[in-house]
């Protein structure tokens, strides 16, 4: 058991890579067997990740060094609270997404399902890989694999439009990837090390021009995936992918990889002290704050449901970036926890949007009048996610937003408190009307109870439940809150004894 625990980081990465190979070999003709691989891999992956939670919370860091991949740099894994937080949420949501995707892909009679499930598995391998990366090079390696593996999912529809969007996606992703490689080379050439250190390892002695160049390269590299404006425009377009991809990758895994990159950059490469002193924190915070407000405003104007959710994602990703950039413990805690709560709430909303689309063919908000009577569970869950994102108590979003708000007061930045509050209102303005229209207006099309398939409704119900649980008892579910605290303690050195 102990041995298993110590190889768990690697197993968690490999298990889905294995599935990615098994899936196309099994093929469309034996699709039940093929889907079994996805389900088994997702459960096993989550198991491997979850079994490390008690140890990591007790201060254990599971480390593995695989091979020396460059002079003085190893392909190495290290499980710390930050990586574990992201890995736990992503791998747990993959289980639900797997069931959901089966319902979605079969319900919509989609093409190339083997490629779809295979690439999804590769993406999850890469995501967990970058969570557990012990140094920048390993991180960049998985980050690049994630970028490339997402491409076939974006062009899944195979239409001219999908290819055009795929091209745009690649240009953004490759540019970002090369910026990261450049930044990594820069850091290695200047310091000779790439290992993540809680509290950072760069020193002010490198000089402002170098530090700013490093920051610029990484901000470009992570900003693309994190959708920080003005680098966000690929994300709403990427919604052309099947909804399970939008839900898991473009609300959780891929985009949060960018956000997670900022966490690593600020907390483990620069360190909060240096990042604040050089002034980069302010720059990042201003960009993030502008993104929050603009994305919320744009979301108001979108009639396409997935586009509206996509802009909402853009905004919420910047909540996390802003929380990190504020550098004070409470804000970082809120940011870390928002990675989990936003994941749960947003995936619920996307699942709902997909269920509605597959079941009724409706894509636009204006077509959803009265649909709540037909699909009460789906729209009920949508309502929970919507009020959660707006920051209503008893849903997870309230807790993370609370700490973000407290953090901006702690940091003495009342303007950002204002940003969070205004954006909360805007969230309510663009999400809640969808629910009210669905339930309180009526339409001749939607009469009588008629839900989507159980394979889709059950995951929706679970993610909704998770969103609520995170709000009612933040630490009750996989101790996400304790892990978030451990991250902040590691990065800032503050202790939260008795807090939370």
Residue spans of alpha helices (H) in 63-159: 81-107, 113-131, 136-154
CB contact at 8 A, 323 and 407 = yes
User: 């009020």: which residue's tokens?
Assistant: 387
CB contact at 8 A, 249 and 150 = yes
CB of residue 485 to other proteins, shortest distance in Å: 33
- Considering the complex, state which of residue 1 and residue 67 has its C-beta at the smaller distance from other proteins: 67
- Considering the complex, state which of residue 158 and residue 393 has its C-beta at the smaller distance from other proteins: 158
CB of residue 154 to other proteins, shortest distance in Å: 12
CA gap 325, 226 in Å, rounded = 14
- Considering the complex, state which of residue 54 and residue 158 has its C-beta at the smaller distance from other proteins: 158
- Considering the complex, state which of residue 73 and residue 435 has its C-beta at the smaller distance from other proteins: 73
- Considering the complex, state which of residue 5 and residue 186 has its C-beta at the smaller distance from other proteins: 186
Q: Is 258 helix (H, G, I), strand (E, B) or coil?
A: helix
b/e map of 79-118 (b: 16 or more CB within 10 Å)?
bbbbbbbbbbbbbbbbbbbbbbbbbbbebeebebbbebbb
Q: CA separation (Å) from 103 to 287, 381, 460, 477?
A: 39, 18, 12, 26
465 contacts: CB under 8 Å, gap ≥ 6: none
- Considering the complex, state which of residue 217 and residue 457 has its C-beta at the smaller distance from other proteins: 217
CB of residue 139 to other proteins, shortest distance in Å: 11
CB of residue 158 to other proteins, shortest distance in Å: 6
CB of residue 489 to other proteins, shortest distance in Å: 32
Q: Compute the Cα dihedral for 103, 106, 109, 111 and give only its sign.
A: positive
CA gap 301, 433 in Å, rounded = 13
Total residues belonging to the chain? 500
- Considering the complex, state which of residue 141 and residue 280 has its C-beta at the smaller distance from other proteins: 141
263 contacts: CB under 8 Å, gap ≥ 6: 82, 320, 324, 335, 336, 487
- Considering the complex, state which of residue 167 and residue 364 has its C-beta at the smaller distance from other proteins: 167
CB of residue 265 to other proteins, shortest distance in Å: 18
The token pair at 217 is 């390269």
Indicate the DSSP class of residue 67.
E
Q: Compute the Cα dihedral for 448, 452, 455, 458 and give only its sign.
A: negative
Indicate the DSSP class of residue 69.
E
- Considering the complex, state which of residue 37 and residue 139 has its C-beta at the smaller distance from other proteins: 139
410 contacts: CB under 8 Å, gap ≥ 6: 328, 329, 330, 331
- Considering the complex, state which of residue 64 and residue 406 has its C-beta at the smaller distance from other proteins: 64
The residues binding other proteins (CB under 8 A) are 67-71, 137, 140-141, 144-145, 148, 158, 160, 163, 166-167, 170-171, 174-175, 177-179, 181-182, 184-186, 188-190
CB of residue 21 to other proteins, shortest distance in Å: 12
The continuous run of DSSP H or E covering 78 comes out as strand 73-79
CB of residue 264 to other proteins, shortest distance in Å: 17
CB contact at 8 A, 147 and 64 = no
CB of residue 458 to other proteins, shortest distance in Å: 34
Residue 135 β-bridge partners = 195
CB of residue 178 to other proteins, shortest distance in Å: 5
CB of residue 269 to other proteins, shortest distance in Å: 16
- Considering the complex, state which of residue 95 and residue 146 has its C-beta at the smaller distance from other proteins: 146
CB of residue 19 to other proteins, shortest distance in Å: 18
CB contact at 8 A, 275 and 266 = yes
- Considering the complex, state which of residue 220 and residue 344 has its C-beta at the smaller distance from other proteins: 220
Q: How far apart are the first and last CA of the chain?
A: 32
């Amino acid at each position: 058991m102990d041995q298993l625990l110590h190889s768990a980081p690697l197993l968690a990465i490999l298990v889905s890579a294995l599935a990615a190979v098994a899936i196309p070999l099994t093929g469309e003709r034996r699709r039940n067997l093929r889907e079994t691989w996805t389900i088994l891999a997702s459960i096993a992956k989550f198991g491997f990740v979850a079994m490390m939670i008690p140890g990591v919370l007790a201060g254990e860091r599971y480390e593995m060094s695989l091979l020396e991949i460059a002079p003085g740099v190893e392909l190495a894994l290290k499980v710390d609270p930050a990586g574990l937080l992201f890995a736990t949420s992503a791998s747990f949501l993959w289980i639900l997404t797997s069931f959901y995707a089966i319902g979605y892909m079969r319900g919509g009679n989609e093409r190339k399902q083997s490629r779809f499930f295979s690439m999804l598995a590769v993406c999850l391998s890469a995501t967990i890989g970058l969570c557990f990366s012990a140094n920048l090079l390993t991180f960049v390696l998985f980050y690049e694999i994630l970028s490339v593996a997402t491409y076939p999912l974006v062009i899944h529809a195979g239409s001219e439009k999908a290819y055009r969007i795929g091209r745009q996606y690649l240009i953004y992703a490759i540019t970002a990837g090369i910026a990261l490689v450049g930044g990594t080379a820069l850091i290695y050439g200047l310091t000779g090390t790439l290992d993540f250190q809680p509290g950072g390892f760069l020193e002010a002695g490198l000089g402002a021009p170098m530090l700013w160049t490093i920051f610029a390269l990484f901000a470009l590299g992570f900003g693309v995936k994190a959708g920080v404006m003005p680098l966000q425009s690929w994300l709403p377009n990427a919604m052309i992918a099947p909804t399970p991809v939008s839900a898991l990758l473009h609300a959780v895994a891929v985009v949060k990889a960018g956000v997670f990159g900022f966490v690593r950059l600020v907390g483990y490469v620069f360190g909060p002290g240096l990042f604040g002193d050089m002034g980069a924190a302010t720059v990042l915070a201003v960009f993030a704050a502008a993104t929050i407000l603009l994305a919320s405003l744009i979301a108001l104007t979108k009639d396409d449901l997935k586009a509206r959710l996509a802009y909402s994602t853009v905004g919420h990703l910047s909540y996390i970036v802003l929380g990190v950039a504020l550098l004070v413990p409470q804000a970082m805690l809120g940011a870390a926890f928002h990675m989990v709560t936003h994941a749960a709430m947003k995936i619920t909303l996307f699942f709902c949007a997909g269920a509605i689309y597959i079941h009724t063919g409706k894509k636009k908000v204006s077509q959803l009048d009265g649909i709540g009577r037909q699909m009460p569970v789906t729209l009920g869950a949508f309502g929970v996610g919507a009020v959660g994102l707006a920051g209503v108590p008893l849903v997870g979003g309230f807790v993370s937003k609370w700490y973000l708000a407290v953090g901006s007061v702690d940091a003495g930045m009342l303007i950002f408190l204002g940003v969070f509050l205004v954006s909360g209102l805007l969230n309510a303005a663009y999400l809640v009307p969808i629910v009210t229209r669905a339930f309180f207006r009526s339409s001749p099309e939607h009469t009588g109870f008629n839900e989507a398939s159980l394979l889709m409704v059950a995951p929706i119900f679970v993610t909704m439940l998770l969103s609520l649980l995170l709000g009612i008892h933040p630490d009750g579910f996989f101790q996400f809150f304790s892990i978030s605290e451990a991250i902040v303690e590691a990065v800032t050195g503050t202790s939260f004894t008795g807090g939370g």
